[in-house]
Amino acid sequence: MRYHAKLQDDHGSVLHHGNMERAVKVLERMENQNTFKELAMDFKYWDDMSDQYRQAEGSLLPLWKFYTDHCKHKHVTSLCWNPEYYDLFAVGYGSFDFLHQSSGLVCCYSLKNPSYPEYVFGTDSAIRLPCDRVMCLDFHPQHPNLLALGCYDGSVSVYDVRRPTKPLYSSTAATSKHTDPVWEIFWQEDEMLKQLQFFSVASDGRVTLWTLAKSELLHQEMMELRLGSSGKKDAEDEPTKGNLAGGCCFDFNKAQDHLFVVGTEEGHIHKCSQAYNSEYLQTYQGHDMTVYAVKWNNIHTRIFLSASADWTLKLWEGDNPRPVMSFDLNNPVGDAAWSPHSATVFAAVTDDGKVHVYDLAENKHDALCQQKVVKKAKLTKISFNPKHPILIVGDDRGCVTCLKLSPNLRKVSKPAEDKHKVEDLEIAKLNKVIEIAMKGEMADLAQ
């Protein structure tokens, strides 16, 4: 009787106690482990044996699909793995079709339970968002419970996924929220002040720094994306929406975190610095349409990749304003991502439902794998797992698919007797590819 009384919560029911919730969650995971036993075995042990006989080809094995009725008729607008729990990832739902808008949603899934998300909050769930359409999200790298969201109405907010009943912080018109959709969001710690802060980029042409104060969300305009190749700010030139370029994506350099590149609606990519915001450090011109993604290489910090609606992926190096390499995928490229383990492996998704995986060390021109993973949907987002040899892709029907890479798609340099670090070998491998590509470009220009 004493134990029974101890378990009862404020409502007098054992069923609503935290211990019961944990017990039910364990039982649910045990049931899913039995239901998806074959997929779990494939996740752990599957390797495509045919890779031994084909050096320049690879394959992707479909594992789990993550879908709930909450995300019906919604587009997957963002994917992000948790930095500490490698089985957990967050999915943002909204719509890229602005004539047929849907409500917003955030789901946090675990590979241990593919049947239902661990957390759900949004306009269609019991826990409401302060905005309606989620366009981007990002976990804090040191505080894995903090999730920042960017929304279609220009607002940003921060949630604690352990208690997502309401946002910890949220921007409003009074705190100078963006006036157009927020397309990407990125956490970055202030090393001197040790403050929690993140950046956002939106179609209103602003890159904004948000700082989490004790009771409010403080903002600072970091960069105004002015039209033109220099972005120079004249004293008499007042910032108006007409002379600002819409920002669509950005990424911060892994080695020099004050440097970042921004992709715009006009097809230009600008390299900027937090310490020098009066004009661009460099402008890269090569795309003819909107740039949907820019990603710095995880190992080689002078190389970045861009994906665009003009059907191309382009590889850029340092201060070279021209693309080093270009790949035509025959369809708009919705997103791209670098492998966390290899400097030469990257992947992209296209509107025809295909995943394209490249390894430049094996083939400098064509993908090692072009695999259609959805029948009628468009793929919108892609993300590599930071630890396991898998990636996830999202589509415009609210479904997220997990895929395992075959051995040929995850080759990593092996140091001989610890004489060299793996990172040094990977950098040298990509440098060799870049050198060959640059020689070919010089030869073409000479002709």
Q: What is the mean pLDDT of residues 302-309?
A: 96
Q: What is the mean pLDDT of residues 359-364?
A: 93
Identity of residue 158: V
Q: Which residues does 288 contact at the CB level (< 8 Å), separation at least 6?
A: 267, 308, 310
Q: Over the chain, what is the mean pLDDT?
A: 85
pLDDT at 226: 87
Lowest-confidence region among 323-327, 365-369, 422-426: 422-426
**In what order do the strands lie in the sheet containing 379-384?**
60-66, 400-405, 390-395, 379-384
Using CA atoms, how far apart are residues 314 and 320, in angstroms rounded to an integer? 13
Confidence band (pLDDT; 50, 70, 90) for 163?
confident
Question: What's the half-sphere exposure (Cβ side, CA atoms, 13 Å) at 209?
Answer: 19
Q: What is the mean pLDDT of residues 60-67?
A: 94
Which is higher by pLDDT, 394 or 166?
A: 394
Q: Which residues does 216 contact at the CB level (< 8 Å), separation at least 6?
A: 169, 175
**434: part of which helix (H) or strand (E)?**
helix 422-446
Per the CB < 8 A criterion, the answer to whether 60 and 392 are in contact is: no
pLDDT at 416: 67
pLDDT at 89: 96
Which is higher by pLDDT, 278 or 436?
A: 436
**Does 2 score more than 50 pLDDT?**
no
Identify the residue whose tokens are 């007098």. Answer: 12
Using CA atoms, how far apart are residues 159 and 175, in angstroms rounded to an integer? 18
**Does 18 score more than 80 pLDDT?**
no
The length of the chain, given as a count of residues: 447
Question: What's the half-sphere exposure (Cβ side, CA atoms, 13 Å) at 103?
Answer: 12
Which is higher by pLDDT, 438 or 4?
A: 438
Which is higher by pLDDT, 302 or 55?
A: 302
pLDDT at 129: 59
Lowest-confidence region among 90-94, 219-223, 228-232: 228-232
Mind listing the pLDDT tens digit for each residue in 238-279? Answer: 555 567 888 999 999 999 988 999 999 999 999 999 888 878
Q: What is the pTM (predicted TM-score) of this model?
A: 0.88
Q: Is 31 helix (H, G, I), strand (E, B) or coil?
A: helix
